Structure 1
Amino acid sequence: MPQDIVLEIPFPARINPHTEAVLVRHMEWLKAAGFLSSDENIERYLTWRLVELAGRFYPDALEDDLVLGAQGQAFFFFFDDLFDSHLGESPAAAYRICYEMAALARQSPDSTWIKPSFPLARLWLDHWCRAQEGMSAAWRERAARHWEDFFLSYVTEAANRKSGALLGTDQYLKLRRLAIATEGVLDTAERCGRFEAPPEIHQSMSILEIRDITAEVVVLANDLHSLEKDQVNGELNNAILLLRSERSYSQDEAVREVRDMVHKRIARFQQLGHEIYRLCDDFALSAEQRAGTRRFLEVNRACMRGNYDWGRTTDRYSKVGIQHVKRSPRIEDTVAHTTERRPENIRLHTRQVAPAAVGSNPRSRGSRVGGNSVSGAKPTG
């Protein structure tokens, strides 16, 4: 099983001590909110171990903050699974839903111009409002941009899937590191940890590269762990499968190449970590700002290692998960039913929003990736 493949990720394996308590609260919330109603779907969801994943991503969070982190993980996976349907191959349908989500991310907290039109959007908006509490304007702007990029990436993926072209490995990683939601995980880690790295550090090339490395390590580990699930689901956009097609590798050769890619990125991450401490001197940062910078490096390490440890144990990618995929690629419950209305019938409450409000940022995925001739990478997870 690809889940057994060993990667050398030399960071400590950690998990939040509140994980079990948060699991109880998390499941009560999901059932009360109507997102899981049948025993079969509750059982399937539990096999994914998403609260454990949150516990690994946010090992130092207080219990209430870990509840927020677990809520975010539920959203990521539920939203991703929406596109295991006609949405995943319909650019127009994907745009209607993703534009709404991106517009919500850009809307000011006290505005009601844009209203969520389906339950999963309301779940996310509650999460987003809570996530912003106590965070700086710089953090809110950065996190909103990352959410906007994440949502609009699904439109790019749907449009490119529709074209039927296969990605090259480099193109795949460029798109996938933007779509896998690692940026949101790292932003949430600051919120759950009740700290922020200073804005000047976040704008440095070293930190931008570190974030990209973290995302790519997560992508590549995820592709190893989910290989069999992807094959059963008919998903061709997986680094192992792309390497086999692009370079005529055997599966063993492709797996070795992906392992080497991970290890090279980890080595580069370690090198950049030392450069960050030099930047702290260059910017004459205070002791508090330096502590925030150190903690941000730690959450990147926790993200890479936590995703790897979780990926080896979750049943989302195991034989159990593969059997679920054979029956249905997603949980057929309230989350899925919300989009069974054809999305062209969804009316977004966006008439009072200027067209430039969404996708106008030069770093947004819509402007950086949408025009490239690449096909759609698989969604997260």
Structure 2
Amino acid sequence: MTTNTSLLADPERLSMPFRSRVSADVDRARTHHLNWIAARGLWPSARAEAAYRAADFPLFAASVYPWARGEDLDLLTDLLGWAWLWDDSLDRPGPRQADVAHTASLLNVYRNVLHGRMALVPSAPLADAWHQLLQRLEERTSKQWRQLHAALWEATYASFLQEARNNAAGSVPSFQEYLSMRREAGGPSICFIWAEAAGRYEVPAHVYASEDLQTLDQAAEDVVIMTNDLFSVSNEWSDGNTNNIILVLAQQENCSWHEAARRAEDIINTTMVHFQDAESHFLSSHLYQDLAIQDRANTDRFLDVLKAWMSGSLNWHRSSARYQSTNITASTSQPERQ
């Protein structure tokens, strides 16, 4: 085993072409959100609460949804905050110690909440909060939107279970397996459409399902998840989580973490260029040009969401205490090349 304490992630190598902003309502939203978490009984421990406050997840929400204010930002912040706490709860006591059958059982609890089968759900803070959040979403969305939302969550549940199998076996996936699993387990597409719910608009279904928009959605997903991986690899490896682009590339290309990080940064930059090219193609297409005025405005808003997520997520990762110091260095032992 080898140890390297030099900086692993190099955010300055990422050529982010999109402007980053933060909602002016972030301070009020932060107070609301922390009170909401406390009122719902969601803090798993004092230590977890301190780490959560230090990471400043409300700032993350205000960075990826910079247009949001008031109740719109409150809903988005509560959704993202709940999702972070939920994700961490599935990793306890640690991915390497994960019981796949137990993970499947836990996922079924949240699946039952998602589909309104509350009679099958034992009362618990995270499940109860999920039920409340879904009710808040239902007030703002169409049946068609909720069906898409549920389908995206089903994909997330399936990928979480596969991640648990990989982690329990210490198996690092191939790059293509990683991309498919990480996109769904990370849930960025869910977060993108949450903006529609908060903003009370919806992209026309045929536009959202089109190859052009799915190409843009997928490129934004990849930038978001790979950026997170760059900053979180040391923590994830220590915890036993193998679904990280640094680990995947290091194994696939038989290189060090540092070399894998440089390769990942190149992939992220290439993906952002691909996004811009795909956007230019989409905006000049008949699909886009033939949209009614309101449908085009809604589609434009969604494209702005994708850009805000890429730029806002990067900026938050650069400054968040969650990824500072040892979190962005290879300070834990990494596998030797094989």
- Which band: TM-score by shorter chain? 0.7 to 0.9
2:230 maps to what in 1?
Answer: 224
1:69 maps to what in 2?
Answer: 76
Measured on the aligned residues, the alpha-carbon RMSD in Å equals 2.5
Q: Structure 1 residues 38, 219: CA separation in 2 closer, same or farther (over 3 Å shift)? A: closer
Provide the rounded CA distance (Å) in 1 between the counterparts of 2:291 and 2:213: 15
Deviation at 1:199, TM superposition (A): 0.8
Moved more, 73-82 or 281-290: 281-290
Provide the rounded CA distance (Å) in 1 between the counterparts of 2:250 and 2:272: 23
Unpaired runs of at least 5, structure 1: 327-381
Q: Structure 1 residues 184, 176: CA separation in 2 closer, same or farther (over 3 Å shift)? A: same
2:311 maps to what in 1?
Answer: 305
Matched, 1:97 2:106: yes
Q: Name the structure where helix makes up a greater proportion of residues.
A: 2
Residue 95 of structure 1 contacts residue 152 of structure 1 at CA under 8 Å; is this kept in 2? no
Provide the rounded CA distance (Å) in 2 between the counterparts of 1:102 and 1:83: 14
Matched, 1:276 2:282: yes
Residue 220 of structure 1 contacts residue 239 of structure 1 at CA under 8 Å; is this kept in 2? yes
Q: Normalising by structure 2, report the TM-score.
A: 0.87
1:266 maps to what in 2?
Answer: 272
Residue 212 of structure 2 contacts residue 278 of structure 2 at CA under 8 Å; is this kept in 1? yes
Task: Output the amino acid matched with 1:185.
Answer: C
Task: Output the amino acid matched with 2:162.
Answer: T
Residue 8 of structure 1 contacts residue 263 of structure 1 at CA under 8 Å; is this kept in 2? yes
Q: Structure 1 residues 241, 165: CA separation in 2 closer, same or farther (over 3 Å shift)? A: closer
Provide the rounded CA distance (Å) in 2 between the counterparts of 1:115 and 1:40: 28
Percent identity over paired residues? 28
Q: Normalising by structure 1, report the TM-score.
A: 0.78
Provide the rounded CA distance (Å) in 2 between the counterparts of 1:87 and 1:100: 20
Task: Output the amino acid matched with 2:58.
Answer: V
Provide the rounded CA distance (Å) in 1 between the counterparts of 2:262 and 2:76: 33
Residue 223 of structure 1 contacts residue 240 of structure 1 at CA under 8 Å; is this kept in 2? yes
For each residue in 1:30-56, what CA deviation from the matched residue of structure 2 results, as whole angstroms up to 9, or x when unmatched?
Answer: 222222386544322111111011101
State how many pairs are aligned: 322
2:200 maps to what in 1?
Answer: 194
Task: Output the amino acid matched with 1:276.
Answer: F
Provide the rounded CA distance (Å) in 1 between the counterparts of 2:299 and 2:286: 8
1:178 maps to what in 2?
Answer: 184
Matched, 1:285 2:294: no
Residue 150 of structure 1 contacts residue 181 of structure 1 at CA under 8 Å; is this kept in 2? yes
Residue 19 of structure 1 contacts residue 51 of structure 1 at CA under 8 Å; is this kept in 2? yes
Provide the rounded CA distance (Å) in 2 between the counterparts of 1:39 and 1:280: 55
Residue 230 of structure 2 contacts residue 246 of structure 2 at CA under 8 Å; is this kept in 1? yes
Deviation at 1:160, TM superposition (A): 3.0
For each residue in 1:102-158, what CA deviation from the matched residue of structure 2 results, as whole angstroms up to 9, or x when unmatched?
Answer: 232233xxx654435422011111111101222122211111111222223222222
Q: How does 1:3-22 map to 2 (within 5 A)?
A: 3-6=9-12, 7-22=14-29
Deviation at 1:290, TM superposition (A): 0.2
Deviation at 1:314, TM superposition (A): 1.0
2:30 maps to what in 1?
Answer: 23
Unpaired runs of at least 5, structure 2: 1-6, 333-338
Task: Output the amino acid matched with 1:298.
Answer: D
Paired residue secondary structure (1:83): helix
Task: Output the amino acid matched with 1:83.
Answer: L
Provide the rounded CA distance (Å) in 2 between the counterparts of 1:231 and 1:189: 32
Task: Output the amino acid matched with 2:85.
Answer: F
Paired residue secondary structure (1:138): helix
Matched, 1:57 2:70: no
1:372 maps to what in 2?
Answer: none
Provide the rounded CA distance (Å) in 2 between the counterparts of 1:38 and 1:82: 11
Task: Output the amino acid matched with 2:297.
Answer: A
Provide the rounded CA distance (Å) in 2 between the counterparts of 1:273 and 1:145: 25
